């Protein structure tokens, strides 16, 4: 395969189960992978691959197998352990809140294409996953992320914590019943984000696997490993922008604070990589806008809100600047291309 250094990458993790699922349904893996510059040997949990390749692979697999719920099948019986060292660290945390916070803080080690987040929503919390790679993602990736999130919360707490509802930023499937069975709670499709809504009181739940000394050792080893990864600073900024858009403040000041930097320091570091903060913010906004317009039916005005624009007209002007098209016209052309 070609150099991956400049491409948004995603750790294979739970997707390593795909060959077994396809084999169980008598689907030829080679046919699914044809033309993707991908081999079965690449589907190892620790391998990082372009998220565009993984998206294409999942869409093809679902079509070949006739399984609209393939993301749920992949996530079945998998939990935080599928996250590798990040999952090990989560188990050693004292509370569910600190475990999920650790996941969010360190998830960039597993992906430079999508960001996890944990946001307060009234008295509850949203544990979510948002893709910011420029290519349109597969809806099945959102299914996998939500399903793994559900399993890891339940397994970390021995089933004591249950989600209140699940939101998915993907079209309503032809048959939603497998989703209702899997999640066991209200599932809402065509949403502006993919997340689990968890009771606020659950953040203080004491984990039975907590081990402060083990956490200290694992964290030191993990930080050393993370320092060796070839991640540009711009990648870290993109990763921070994605969840902060949902939080309603992805300003340069807020993103810099999230990275424990002064805004001017962040600006200088980006300048050294020949990019500006506003360029990165526009890249992320465009990626999210295209995803929501193509994969959901939510109003253009709601997309504008999700991207932090004060008015829908401001979003429409920005989208025209990016694509030479209005959001509604672009959405219509995308739907026609998918037919």
The pLDDT tens digits for 76-90 are 999 999 999 999 999
Same-domain check for residues 74 and 182: yes
Whether residue 60 is contained in a domain is answered as: yes
Same-domain check for residues 30 and 138: yes
Same-domain check for residues 108 and 148: yes
Same-domain check for residues 199 and 285: no
Same-domain check for residues 263 and 196: no
CA distances from 73 to 67, 83, 182 (A): 9, 17, 9
Instruction: Give the number of domains in the chain.
Output: 2
Tens digits of residue pLDDT in 95-106: 999 999 999 999
Contact by Cβ (8 Å): 289, 321: no
Same-domain check for residues 30 and 148: yes
CA end-to-end distance (rounded Å), the chain: 31
pLDDT < 50 regions, the chain: 1-5, 339
Same-domain check for residues 264 and 184: no
Same-domain check for residues 182 and 262: no
Residue 237 corresponds to which tokens in the numbers above?
Answer: 């900024």
Same-domain check for residues 88 and 186: yes
Whether residue 265 is contained in a domain is answered as: yes
The pLDDT assigned to 7 comes to: 83
The pLDDT assigned to 1 comes to: 35
Same-domain check for residues 187 and 245: no
Same-domain check for residues 86 and 134: yes
Q: Cα-atom radius of gyration of the chain, to the nearest Å?
A: 20
User: CA 128, 242, 262, 217 torsion: positive or negative?
Assistant: positive
Q: For residue 206, report the phi and psi dihedrals to the nearest 5 degrees.
A: -80, 125
Range of the domain at 241: 234-338
Tens digits of residue pLDDT in 143-168: 999 999 999 999 999 999 999 999 99
3-state secondary structure of 14: helix
Last-in-domain residue among 204, 225, 256: 204
Same-domain check for residues 316 and 242: yes
The pLDDT assigned to 226 comes to: 83
CB burial readout 297-310, b (16+ within 10 A) else e: ebebeebbbbbbbe
CA distance 260 to 264: 12
């Amino acid at each position: 395969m070609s150099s991956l250094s400049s491409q948004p990458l995603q750790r294979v993790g739970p997707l390593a189960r795909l060959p077994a699922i396809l084999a169980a349904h008598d689907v030829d893996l080679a046919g699914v992978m044809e033309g993707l510059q991908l081999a079965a040997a690449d589907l190892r949990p620790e391998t990082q691959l372009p998220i565009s390749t993984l998206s294409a692979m999942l869409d093809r697999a679902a079509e070949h197998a006739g399984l609209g719920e393939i993301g749920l099948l992949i996530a079945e019986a998998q939990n935080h352990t599928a996250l590798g060292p990040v999952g090990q660290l989560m188990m050693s945390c004292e509370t569910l809140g600190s475990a999920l916070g650790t996941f969010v803080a360190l998830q960039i080690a597993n992906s430079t294409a999508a960001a996890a987040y944990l946001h307060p929503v009234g008295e509850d919390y949203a544990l979510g996953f948002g893709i910011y790679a420029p290519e349109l993602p597969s809806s099945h990736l959102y299914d996998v992320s939500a399903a793994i999130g559900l399993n890891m919360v339940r397994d970390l707490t021995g089933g004591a914590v249950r989600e209140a509802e699940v939101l998915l930023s993907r079209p309503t499937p032809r048959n939603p019943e497998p989703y209702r069975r899997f999640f066991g709670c209200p599932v809402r499709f065509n949403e502006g984000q993919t997340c689990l809504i968890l009771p606020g009181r659950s953040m203080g739940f004491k984990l039975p696997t907590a081990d402060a000394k083990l956490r200290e050792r694992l964290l030191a080893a993990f930080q050393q490993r993370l320092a060796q990864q070839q991640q540009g600073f711009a990648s870290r900024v993109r990763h921070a922008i994605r969840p902060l858009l949902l939080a309603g403040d992805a300003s340069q000041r807020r993103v810099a604070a999230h990275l424990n930097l002064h805004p001017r320091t962040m600006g200088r570091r980006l300048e050294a990589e020949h990019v500006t903060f506003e360029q990165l913010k526009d890249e992320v906004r465009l990626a999210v806008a295209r995803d929501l317009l193509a994969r959901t039916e939510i109003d253009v005005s709601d997309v504008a809100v999700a991207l932090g624009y004060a008015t829908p007209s401001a979003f429409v002007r920005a989208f025209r600047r990016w694509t030479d098209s209005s959001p509604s016209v672009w959405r219509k052309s995308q739907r026609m291309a998918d037919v």
